[in-house]
Structure 1
Amino acid sequence: MKAWAVVENGKPLQEIELPTPEPQGDEVLLEVTHAGVCHSDLHIWEGEYDLGARGKLRMADRGLSLPLAMGHEIVGRVAKWGPGAEGRVKAGDVRLVFPWVGCGTCARCAAEEENMCAVRPRALGVYQHGGYATHVLATHWKHLVPIEGLDPALAATYACSGVTVFSAIRKLMPLGAEEFVVVVGAGGLGLQAIAILRALGHRAICAVDLDPAKLEAATAQGASATVQAGEDTAKRILAACGGPVMAVMDLVNGSATAAAAFDALGKGGKLVQVGLFGGEMRVPLPLMPIKALTIQGSYVGSLPELRELVGLAQQGQVPPIPVSQEPFEKADWALNRLREGKVTGRIILTAG
Structure 2
Amino acid sequence: MKSYQVAEFEAPLVLAEIDTPQPTGTQVLVRVMAAGVCHSDLHIWEGGYELGHGRKRLSLKDRGISLPRTMGHETVGEVVAFGPDAQNEPGVKIGDIALVYPWIGCGKCAVCLAGDENMCLKPNCLGVHCDGGYSDHILVPHPRYLLDLQGLDPVTAAPYACSGVTTYSALKKVESDLGNPIVIFGAGGLGLMALALLKAMGGKGAIVVDIDARKREAAIKAGALGAVDGNAPDALEQLAKAAGGPILSVIDLVGTPSTTQLGFDALSKGGKLIMVGLFGGGATWALPLIAMKALTIQGSYVGNLRETRELLELVRTRHVAPIPVIPLPFAQANAALDDLRAGRLIGRAVLTP
Q: How does 1:9-88 map to 2 (within 5 A)?
A: 9-53=9-53, 54-88=55-89
Aligned equivalents of 2:181, 2:52: Cα separation in 1: 30
Aligned counterparts of 2:68 and 2:260: Cα–Cα separation in 1: 33
TM-score by structure 1 length?
A: 0.97
The equivalent position to 1:111 in structure 2, one of 89, 114, 131, is 114
Aligned partner of 1:127 in structure 2 is: 129
Q: Deviations over 1:160-186 (max 9, x none)?
A: 000000000111121142x11111000
| Whole-angstrom CA distance in 1 between matches of 2:291 and 2:38 | 36
Aligned to 1:102: 105
- Within 5 Å, give how 1:135-284 maps onto structure 2: 135-177=137-179, 179-232=180-233, 233-284=235-286
| 2:178–2:204 contact (8 Å) kept in structure 1 | no
**In 2, distance between residues paired with 1:265 and 1:6?**
40
1:320 deviates by 1.5
Deviation at 1:50, TM superposition (A): 0.3
Matched residue type, 1:111: A
In 2, Cα distance between the equivalents of 1:84 and 1:235? 60
* SS of 2:287 mapped into structure 1: coil
Instruction: Report the residue type matching 2:18 in the other structure.
Output: L
Q: Please, which runs of 5 or more residues in structure 2 have no aligned partner?
A: none
Q: Secondary structure at the match of 1:283?
A: coil
- Following TM superposition, where does structure 1 have runs of at least 4 consecutive aligned residues deviating by more than 4 angstroms? none
What is the CA–CA distance in structure 2 between the aligned matches of 1:17 and 1:313, rounded to whole Å? 36
For the residues of structure 2 that align with 1:161 and 1:204, how far apart are their CA atoms?
Answer: 18
Deviation per CA, 1:4-53, whole angstroms, max 9, x where unpaired? 11110001111112343221222111010100000000000000100002
Distance 2:30 2:340 in 1: 26
Question: 1:236 and 1:6 mapped to 2: Cα distance?
Answer: 42
1:303 correspondence with 2:308: no
Q: Percent identity?
A: 51
Q: Deviations over 1:91-136 (max 9, x none)?
A: 2111000000000101111111100001x20101100100000010
Over the aligned positions, Cα root-mean-square deviation in angstroms equals 1.2
In structure 2, what is the Cα distance between the partners aligned to 1:11 and 1:200? 41
**Offset of 1:243 from its aligned partner?**
4.5
Mark the runs of 5 or more structure 1 residues left unpaired by the alignment: none
One of 85, 90, 102 as aligned partner of 2:93: 90
Alignment TM-score, normalising by the size of structure 2: 0.96
Report the secondary structure of 1:52's partner residue.
Answer: coil
